[in-house]
Structure 1
Amino acid sequence: MSNNLITEGKFKYIEAGEGQPIIVLHGLMGALSNFDDVLNYFSNRGYKVLIPELPIYSLPLLKTNVKNISKFLKEFMAFKNIDKTILLGNSLGGHIALYFTNLNLKNVTGLVLTGSSGLYEKSMGDTYPKRGDYEYIKAKTQEVFYDPKIATKEIVDEVFESVNNRHKVIRTLAIAKSAIRHNMAKDLPKMNTPTCIIWGKNDTVTPPEVAIDFERLLPDANLFWIDKCGHTPMMEHPEEFNKILESWLKSRNL
């Protein structure tokens, strides 16, 4: 999938399909390839799917926060001449989607949240004292998924590299602190955007009660559960995830 990465100016992104735009926002440790199945499915069903690489590790340290990544999303939409979009976010990506939507309600036709931060999440911060221990990082990475086999060597290697790269660690911690500062609880009741919440019943990073709170606080939200599933439903149960999302989009004429 990285072979399809388009680089134009300061933007790097993947794009496929034609029609209603869906912009996908990845998480802090999330690769663009986490959304391969979403991209392939919806780009063949009347949607233009775009997955930008978020500038988590490329912004100046003092600007590495939720607010500036949200600004980056606005710039990306302007660059692609997209006025209205559906936003799909996993983990930190969901938080960015919520923050952006709160400030730009007229530009978002629908929200899709899966394992989203914004209210609460259990960080991987306690891994840093042992960041040189590969087996420990492997175990922590496996905990993100219900089925530990989803945490392939490639995924573990990527996380291991990130937590042992001082430049990335500093920015990871900056984003984590920013996410805590930008808690969305007070903003959610004002956000009337149709919202689809797809959550793993076994998510230990953003536990099920987080999804329940999102549904309670958002005025127009529908919550769907996926059983035997952790923090990344679109990776662990891609077929079920896509069917739930497609059905919801049709029910909302999106």
Structure 2
Amino acid sequence: MVHDLKKEGEFTYLEMGEGKPMIVLHGLMGGLSNFDGVAEYFSTNGYKVLIPELPIYTMPLLKTNVKSFATNLEKFIKHKELDDVILLGNSLGGHIGLLYTKLFPENIKALVITGSSGLYESAMGDGYPKRGNYEFMKKKAQEVFYDPEVATKEIVDEVFATVNDRGKLIKTLAIAKSAIRHNMSKDLPQIQTPTCIIWGENDNVTPPNVAEEFHELLPDSDLFWIEKCGHAPMMEHPNEFNTILHKWLKERNF
């Protein structure tokens, strides 16, 4: 899908469709294209899908953390004059979504998390000393998915370029450390927002027991599994992901 990105002030984002607002938050190593299947499906089924580029590499280093991204999201939602938002996040995006929902619950109608950090994640950090080794980074990228073929050359090239850019690497490590520090286990029982948890049964980054803990701690949550699936269900099994989510939204009248 060719992305016709909008640029308004400090925000760069993709906007598709008309209807109920659905904001999608990508992960640390993920891009807007990770949600092509979600954007195409929901933008033609009564939702306005917005995917902002997270300011991962443009924030000052001291502000490169989960809370700053949640604050940036609040600015974006105000800029777009949105309310009753459905917030969907993968990996770091799920973590930002959880924190945002804790801080600004009045703006969020429903929360969707998949492979979310916030409780635990096995990061790629141990591999950064070997960042010059393309084959090593390729293996690391493939391990994110159940099917290694999902890690296309384009995806591997992007990860390789990121970890070999010193400035981006420093920011990446800062965010990863912030995510690990910002454990939300004590916050989750206070989040009353209806939450849909969709998880890959073979997720190596945020293993299945993490999904179960999210489900246990979030008071109004439903947990769904996708078989033969790793850390990014919306990429590996977009049709199944969309079917699960759309059914849940309809059952909840969202």
- State the TM bucket, normalised to the shorter chain: over 0.9
Equivalents in 2 of 1:2, 1:30: separation in Å?
Answer: 16
Residue in 2 that maps onto 1:184? 184
Equivalents in 2 of 1:3, 1:248: separation in Å?
Answer: 27
Residue in 2 that maps onto 1:144? 144
SS in 2 for 1:54: coil
Residue in 1 that maps onto 2:111? 111
Residue in 1 that maps onto 2:231? 231
Equivalents in 2 of 1:176, 1:153: separation in Å?
Answer: 24
Report 1:155-170 matches (<5 A): 155-170=155-170
Residue in 2 that maps onto 1:38? 38
Residue in 2 that maps onto 1:97? 97
Residue in 2 that maps onto 1:60? 60
Instruction: State the shift of 1:187 in Å.
Output: 0.4
Return 5+ residue gaps in structure 1 as ranges.
none
The root-mean-square deviation of aligned C-alpha atoms, in Å, is: 0.7
Residue in 2 that maps onto 1:130? 130
Residue in 1 that maps onto 2:219? 219
Equivalents in 2 of 1:129, 1:182: separation in Å?
Answer: 24
Equivalents in 2 of 1:159, 1:180: separation in Å?
Answer: 20
Find out whether 1:72 has 2:72 as its counterpart.
yes
Instruction: State the shift of 1:83 in Å.
Output: 2.2
| Poorly superposed stretches of 4+, deviation over 4 Å | none
Equivalents in 2 of 1:12, 1:53: separation in Å?
Answer: 6
Residue in 2 that maps onto 1:7? 7
Give the letter for the 1:69 counterpart. F
Does the C-alpha gap of structure 1 residues 214 and 165 become closer, same or farther in structure 2, counting only changes over 3 Å? Answer: same
Residue in 2 that maps onto 1:199? 199
Instruction: State the shift of 1:84 in Å.
Output: 2.3
TM-score by length of 1: 0.99
Equivalents in 1 of 2:48, 2:79: separation in Å?
Answer: 15
Equivalents in 2 of 1:96, 1:195: separation in Å?
Answer: 14
CA contact (8 A) 2:22 2:86 kept: yes
Partner deviation per Cα, 1:4-38 (whole Å, 9 max, x = no partner): 11111110000011111000000000010000000
CA contact (8 A) 2:203 2:229 kept: yes
Pairs aligned (count): 254
Give the letter for the 1:245 counterpart. L
Equivalents in 1 of 2:198, 2:123: separation in Å?
Answer: 20
Deviates more, 1:1-10 or 1:61-70: 1-10
Deviates more, 1:242-251 or 1:1-10: 1-10
Instruction: State the shift of 1:127 in Å.
Output: 1.1
Give the letter for the 2:136 counterpart. Y
Give the letter for the 2:51 counterpart. I
Instruction: State the shift of 1:214 in Å.
Output: 0.3
Instruction: State the shift of 1:2 in Å.
Output: 5.2
SS in 2 for 1:112: strand
Instruction: State the shift of 1:180 in Å.
Output: 1.6
CA contact (8 A) 2:3 2:14 kept: no
Instruction: State the shift of 1:181 in Å.
Output: 1.8
Find out whether 1:22 has 2:9 as its counterpart.
no
Equivalents in 1 of 2:21, 2:152: separation in Å?
Answer: 30
Equivalents in 2 of 1:56, 1:2: separation in Å?
Answer: 22
Partner deviation per Cα, 1:27-83 (whole Å, 9 max, x = no partner): 000010000000000000110000000001000001100011001100000110112
Instruction: State the shift of 1:176 in Å.
Output: 1.1
SS in 2 for 1:109: strand
